[in-house]
Structure formats: structure tokens, C-alpha cells
């Protein structure tokens, strides 16, 4: 069988980087394979995909050693534009990769670049849009599409070019669970039905792990494992279980020898916990919202939302795109006024934006943390004391003199949170904090928000990531179409909650991996007895 991609001893260093992004990577991908690339943030996944297209070093500069041959084209001898005739790359952020204003023109853009016969351009563009179930979007403005729709158009743009290899760099990181599942199903279908080679770097592995032909694990620019999904699960169980699907992690936590990769497999191996209603412990209300309404032009964002945000509790605010979660969060923190209804609560309220770069307005990390205190008029000695305490609390003291933009994504996230918690808010809202975050960082974030809640702060996490919500939150508020559907305990709503259920909830009726692990251990002990 011929190879779609061959990499031999590839070493690459970005300009001015201290360490190589790729360090002796050798990888062969056969035609028609679906390869899943796993690894923590900064492990070299995105660079590997860019190297496959020749964007490193051609676009980014830096030094490349070794050999990369994509669809028979050596990237040292062929430009990315030439390689792009056979290999397509879909990036993480759909908003930043769309060039044209209309969806069909966007798909046509790549065909124009290929020098395609003008008479074929529009029919091929329409076929590609139809193939990804986006035919109805053809005449829509790309800037007005949802993240999921934009990502579909981006995939259609690549498919239309008739490339035989598709590289996807965390394509679901900005999508809600339903859109993410649809997209991964689409990728699988493209691979199975059309024989297109797919190399996919992804953190949300619950749906795609078992579907992959091979799993490649990267660490510090190196490939540390390359094998089948079952072999990868066995390997990762000992070294990096957070890269596995949540249901597999539960079996790892229970020290069970079987490692199911899907909900169905897990259900065959263990009976789910029975549903029992749990009550949340009593807690004071930090902010109460009653029948709150809000419109943006003609679009209603909130239609009478009522909820109470609790002190000392991590509350997850979940729901599909356009449910009104971010609007509710901004109104609760006083950043936006409601059109109608009542918002009750006083004290300092903080909001951490979904893009940590929005919290980087100063030249130094310590100045960034001091920014809010300066705005509040806190005296210099007190300010210095609180900044030092906050840097220490978030493990940022070593980075105090660095520029915020030079930090890694995890450090930027911690800095963004520290820059708000330094005000000692009674309510802290984190808007989509897990975008593009790997499993290990999510665990760290879950622990961090737990500590903040432990200090008495009411923490609200607005998220699409149901598995993270289940791990991090005690209380859950579900929303849809501008209304609050339910307030309750995360076990009730995410383990047995139907549409919003997390993976360990679907498989084992538990909200967290630890709970599921405990359930499985008990079951094993009983079986042993």
C-alpha cells in the first residue's frame, strides 16, 4: 500500500525557540488510514501537521532537518501551495481560517488557487458543501455562521479541492458537544466512505479514539507511542491516562484489566449505578437572577432566565451554542445590563473571558495581576502584597517579570484567572475556560476552581465540555434557547441527564471518573467475594 505521508527523523525548531518543536519524528501514514495524534499542549502535534504540509519551515521560518514526503511530494522541494493540491489542513480556530465573505465563495477560493476550470468551480463547491451537510449555508456570510457551521465550511473547502489527505488540528476545540460529535462523525464518514487519509490531532477523544486505525502519542516533540487504539489504551493507562476517553480512565482508576474505549463496551463490562436523586448542600446565594430577559437587536438571548448562583460552590453552566450562557454570565457579573427582570447581589464579581489573551494588556505578568488593584485604587504596599500572594497561589511567581504573551497556554489561563481573583471576588465566572486545553490541564483547572470555591468564592464555569463540567462542578445549570432548564446536582443532571450526560455518566451512571472508578472497584471486590 502506498504512503500518504512519510516523515523520517524530522527535527524542527521555531525561530528563537529554546527547544525543538519536533525532535526526531519518524512517521508513516498509509493511504486511507485514520490516525489520531494525542499529546499534551506543546507536545508538537500542531507542528507535525504543519510540517506535513510544508508550512514549517516555509511559512514560519526556523530550521528543519530530516525528510517529509506528503503524497509523494518532498516538502523541501515543493512549496506548501504545491503540496496543498493533495493535502488539506483544517485549523483549530474556524474564525481565523475563513478568507471570503460568502460560504460558497470560501469553498471556491481553494479551487481558484488550484487553477481549476472556471466552469467546474461552483458545481464542485456546491457538491463539497452538500457532502458535509452544509449545502444550505452556500449563500450565507461566513462571519455570521456558528463555530460548527464555520468548521463544516472549512472542511468543505478542503474536500472540494479533491485532496486525498486531510489534516485536522483540534477541529472541535471551539464546538459544543453536539456540533463536535457531528463533526467527528463526518470526519469518520469521509475516511470510511471516500478513502481519504485523515490525520487528526484532538483532545476530545471520547468519540474518535475507538474509530481510529492508529493512535500516535507525542511528548516533547517526539513520538513516544504508535499503535492500535487498544494498544494505545494499554500504553497510556500507565503513563498518561488523561489522554484516554473518560470511560477508559474510569477503568484505569479502578485498576481493572479491561480497557473499554466506548460507552457500549463499558456497559458490557459493568452495570451502571442506579439513579438516586441527590440534594445540593445549603449555600448562600451570591447573585440571584429572576425572569431576566435580554435581546441583541432582533435576536432574543435570554427569555426569562431564573437561577441562583451559590457561594462556595462550583456551578457549571451548560447548554448548546446560542443557549444564552455567556449572556447570563455577563449579566450576573454586571458587565451587561438586562433588558428586563431582576438581578440581586452585591460584592465584587469577576469575569474571565474565553480568550486568555484578552486579559493580557500589560508588559509584565506581575503588572497584569496588579492592573485590577490599580483600577480599584488599592494603595501600593497593599497592592504589592496581594499581587505576590496571588502569583504564589497560582504558581506564577517565577514568571513575574515575563511578558504575558510569552507564556504557554496553560500559564496564560492561570494568569487570566489570577488577574481577576486578585480582586477577591464573591462570584467568579470562567467563560469556556477549557478551549484547546489538554486533559492534564483540565484536571489542574478543575482542582484550581475547586480550591477557589473552597475559599468561599462562588465559581461559575460556562462550558461546552460536559466531561469537564462533570469533573469540576458540584452544581449544574442547564440552559437552552435563552431559558434555564434545570438547576441541580451534577450527578443528577450530568450522570443521568439525558442530553447533557457526560461519557462516564452514560456508561456507568456516575458524574466523575473518580466516582466511576470507585463504583467499578466495589463491583470487582463484590465479584471477588
Of the two residues 24 and 162, which places its CB atom closer to another protein in the complex? 162
CA dist., res. 216 & res. 38, Å (int)? 6
Q: Which of 199, 197, 196, 168 is nearest to 183 (CA)?
A: 168
| Cell numbers that stand for 332 in this block | 450576573
Cell of 434: 477549557
Q: Does 372 bind another protein (CB under 8 A)?
A: yes
Using the minimum distance from each CB to another protein, give the nearer residue, 178 or 389. Answer: 389
- Residue 85 binds to another protein (criterion: CB under 8 A): yes
- The least CB distance from residue 478 to another protein, in Å, is 24
CA-to-CA dists, residue 520 to 262, 416, 470, 529, angstroms: 16, 38, 18, 14
Picking from 340, 321, 182, 280, the residue whose alpha carbon sits closest to that of residue 486 is 280
Nearer to another protein, 115 or 381 (CB): 115
E strand map for 277-359: 285-296, 299-310, 314-318, 340-344, 349-352
**Binding of residue 132 to another protein (CB under 8 A):** no
Residues near 333 by Cβ (< 8 Å), separated by ≥ 6? 349, 350, 351, 427, 429
CA nearest 386: which of 350, 352, 426, 419?
A: 419
In this structure, what C-alpha cell is assigned to residue 420?
481577576
Nearer to another protein among residue 352 and residue 493 (C-beta)? 352
Query: How far is 73 from 55, CA to CA, in rounded Å?
Result: 13
Within residues 405-464, the interface with another protein by CB under 8 A covers 405, 416, 419-420, 423
Task: Find the binder of another protein among 36, 55, 196, 387 (CB under 8 A).
Answer: 55
Any contact of residue 91 with another protein (CB under 8 A)?
Answer: yes
Taking CB under 8 A as the criterion, which residues in 162-221 touch another protein? none
- Using the contact rule CB under 8 A, the part of the chain among 15-23, 155-163, 445-453, 486-494 near another protein is 155-163
Cβ–Cβ under 8 Å, residues 156 and 150: no
User: Which stretch of DSSP H or E encloses residue 333?
Assistant: none
Given the complex with another protein, which of 418 and 489 has the nearer CB atom? Answer: 418
Task: CB nearer to another protein: give 315 or 326.
Answer: 326
Given candidates 21, 156, 158, 263, which one binds another protein under the rule CB under 8 A? 158
Query: Is position 136 an interface residue for another protein (rule: CB under 8 A)?
Result: no
Contact between 126 and another protein (CB under 8 A)? no
**Contacting positions for another protein (CB under 8 A):** 53, 55, 58-59, 79-82, 84-85, 88-89, 91, 93, 95-102, 105, 108-119, 121-122, 125, 143, 157-158, 161, 297, 330, 333, 335, 349-353, 355, 357-361, 371-372, 375-376, 405, 416, 419-420, 423
Amino acid at each position: 500500500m502506498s504512503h500518504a505521508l512519510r516523515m523520517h527523523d524530522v527535527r524542527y525548531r521555531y525561530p528563537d525557540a529554546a527547544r525543538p518543536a519536533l525532535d526526531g519524528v519518524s512517521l508513516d501514514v498509509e493511504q486511507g488510514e485514520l490516525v489520531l495524534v494525542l499529546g499534551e499542549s506543546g507536545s508538537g502535534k500542531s507542528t507535525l501537521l504543519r510540517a506535513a504540509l510544508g508550512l514549517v519551515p516555509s511559512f514560519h521560518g526556523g530550521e528543519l532537518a530530516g525528510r517529509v514526503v506528503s503524497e509523494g511530494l518532498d516538502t523541501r522541494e515543493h512549496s506548501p501551495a504545491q503540496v496543498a493540491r493533495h493535502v488539506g489542513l483544517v485549523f483549530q480556530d474556524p474564525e481565523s481560517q475563513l478568507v471570503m465573505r460568502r460560504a460558497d465563495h470560501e469553498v471556491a477560493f481553494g479551487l481558484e488557487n488550484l487553477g481549476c476550470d472556471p466552469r467546474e468551480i461552483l458545481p464542485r463547491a456546491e457538491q463539497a458543501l452538500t457532502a458535509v451537510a452544509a449545502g444550505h449555508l452556500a449563500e450565507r456570510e461566513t462571519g455570521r455562521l456558528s463555530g460548527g457551521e464555520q468548521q463544516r465550511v472549512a472542511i468543505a473547502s478542503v474536500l472540494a479541492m479533491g485532496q486525498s489527505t486531510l489534516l485536522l488540528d483540534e477541529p472541535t476545540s471551539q464546538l459544543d458537544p453536539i456540533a463536535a460529535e457531528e463533526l467527528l462523525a463526518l470526519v469518520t464518514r469521509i475516511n470510511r466512505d471516500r478513502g481519504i487519509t485523515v490525520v487528526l490531532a484532538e483532545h476530545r477523544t471520547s468519540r474518535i479514539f475507538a474509530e481510529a486505525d492508529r493512535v500516535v502519542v507525542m511528548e516533547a516533540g517526539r513520538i513516544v507511542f504508535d499503535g492500535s487504539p487498544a494498544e494505545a489504551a494499554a500504553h497510556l493507562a500507565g503513563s498518561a491516562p488523561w489522554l484516554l476517553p473518560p470511560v477508559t480512565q474510569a477503568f484505569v482508576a479502578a485498576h481493572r484489566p479491561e480497557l473499554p474505549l466506548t460507552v457500549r463496551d463499558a456497559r458490557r463490562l459493568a452495570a451502571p449505578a442506579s439513579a438516586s436523586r441527590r440534594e445540593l448542600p445549603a449555600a448562600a446565594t451570591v447573585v440571584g437572577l429572576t425572569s431576566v430577559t435580554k435581546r441583541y437587536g432582533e435576536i432574543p438571548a435570554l427569555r426569562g432566565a431564573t437561577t441562583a448562583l451559590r457561594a462556595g460552590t462550583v456551578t457549571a453552566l451548560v447548554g448548546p451554542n446560542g443557549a444564552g450562557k455567556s449572556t447570563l454570565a455577563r449579566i450576573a457579573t454586571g458587565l451587561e445590563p438586562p433588558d428586563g427582570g431582576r438581578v440581586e447581589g452585591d460584592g465584587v464579581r469577576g469575569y474571565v473571558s474565553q480568550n486568555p489573551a484578552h486579559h493580557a494588556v500589560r508588559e509584565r505578568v506581575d503588572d497584569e495581576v496588579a492592573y485590577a488593584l490599580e483600577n480599584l485604587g488599592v494603595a501600593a504596599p497593599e497592592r504589592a502584597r496581594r499581587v505576590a500572594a496571588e502569583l504564589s497561589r497560582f504558581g506564577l511567581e517565577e514568571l513575574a517579570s515575563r511578558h504575558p504573551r510569552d507564556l504557554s497556554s496553560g500559564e496564560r489561563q492561570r494568569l487570566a484567572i489570577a488577574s481577576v481573583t486578585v480582586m477577591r471576588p464573591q462570584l467568579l465566572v470562567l467563560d469556556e475556560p477549557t478551549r484547546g486545553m489538554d486533559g492534564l490541564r483540565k484536571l489542574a483547572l478543575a482542582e484550581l476552581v475547586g480550591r477557589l470555591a473552597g475559599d468561599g468564592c462562588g465559581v461559575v464555569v460556562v462550558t461546552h465540555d460536559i466531561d469537564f463540567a462533570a469533573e469540576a462542578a458540584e452544581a449544574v445549570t442547564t440552559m437552552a434557547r435563552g431559558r434555564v432548564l434545570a438547576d441541580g446536582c451534577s450527578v443528577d443532571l450530568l450522570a443521568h441527564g439525558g442530553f447533557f450526560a457526560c461519557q462516564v455518566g452514560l456508561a456507568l451512571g456516575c458524574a466523575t471518573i473518580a466516582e466511576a472508578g470507585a463504583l467499578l472497584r466495589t463491583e470487582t471486590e463484590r465479584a471477588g467475594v
